[in-house]
Amino acid sequence: MGLDISYEAVAAEAYAHIDSAGVAMGIGIQCDIATPSLVKHGSEKVKELFLRPTISGEKVACLGVSEVGGGSDVASLRTTARREGDEWVINGGKMWTTNGAQADWMCLLANTSSGDPHKNKSLFCLPMDTPGVNVHRIIDKMGMHASDTAEITFEDARIPHDYLIGEQGKGFLYQMQTFQNERINSRRASPVDINGTNGDNGTDNGDNGTNNGDNGTNNGDNCAIQANVAIGAIRPSTRVSIGPLECVRALYYKCIDDFLAGEDVTPLATMLKLKSARLARQITDGCLQFWGGMGYTDEVIVSKMHRDLRLMSIGGGADEVMLSILCKYMGISPDMR
């Protein structure tokens, strides 16, 4: 349709009204994580085979980057794709693969040569029904139960040579560009976007949300809780954004504006992911505390929000990785001295 990333921002705020962050995450994998490199660098053949049915909803996509023991360190991945005639032979495995159990194809990052770990990787479209591709296990998680996460293994899985995305050896670069986009749009499940869910379910639930049931007192009348609600960013009855949440929202819009202007938004996107993820933890923890004993049960949505949004400081690059990136941009990283 020719729409830019600002339209995604509008959609992301609408997704926040879904009571499951896992739904928004599944959409994000399909739209923002597994397909951008294919859109930008894929041949017409692979676009026709994989991109078109993905856009139409006929196929589900997943991303294969993280590995056992590798976590957020993309450069250290060990999965290999070896050229044999007109085919690539793939061996290795991927971990923390969102949509992995139901995906029809994977955007796979693998080593295609030795040498510089930033220049020896390539991206591929890998059909998940390829012989040698196995869903080793579905991972039981603390939260995001609406979104499956799987460990995938490859044992001499063969795909055609032209399932390569873009140029050989450019996979790391392509993936880093996609991560920049992901870190902007992953805010669909963060405090930038939870005005709806936070206002509806976090603090504004009448007697169920404010009465702790222990002594008949109303938690909403407690001065300490009133202060925390104000600091936390949502005024319960009016749902007006204040404080830290509005600051993060402004940074979100700034990232989008700069991205559309063609600027390198890596530092801002990194700050956005770091700050919004930590704010998500602060707000949901505060809302859970507000609910008292009921907040510690599975009977109310706030405990689900607490579990789901805890992922934001881990997935898509842990907080520690975000801090490392910022240190490099500031020129204070130890490996730059």
68-74, long-range: CB < 8 A, 24+ apart:
68/93, 68/95, 68/151, 70/95, 71/318, 72/317, 72/318, 72/320, 72/321, 74/109, 74/172, 74/175, 74/176
* 3-state SS class at 274: helix
Say how far apart CA 116 and CA 113 lie, in whole Å: 9
The catalytic residue among 8, 13, 151, 182 is: 182
Q: Which residues pair with 84 in a beta bridge?
A: 87
Q: Which residues pair with 164 in a beta bridge?
A: 124
Smallest CA-to-CA distance from 229 within 274, 199, 192 is with 199
CA distances in angstroms from 104 to 51, 164, 291, listed in the order given: 11, 17, 41
167 given a catalytic annotation:
no
For 237, residues 6+ apart whose C-beta sits below 8 A from its C-beta are: 204
Helix boundaries (H) for the chain: 5-15, 21-28, 36-41, 44-46, 52-56, 171-185, 195-197, 206-210, 223-232, 244-260, 266-291, 301-309, 319-330
Q: Which residues are catalytic?
A: 182
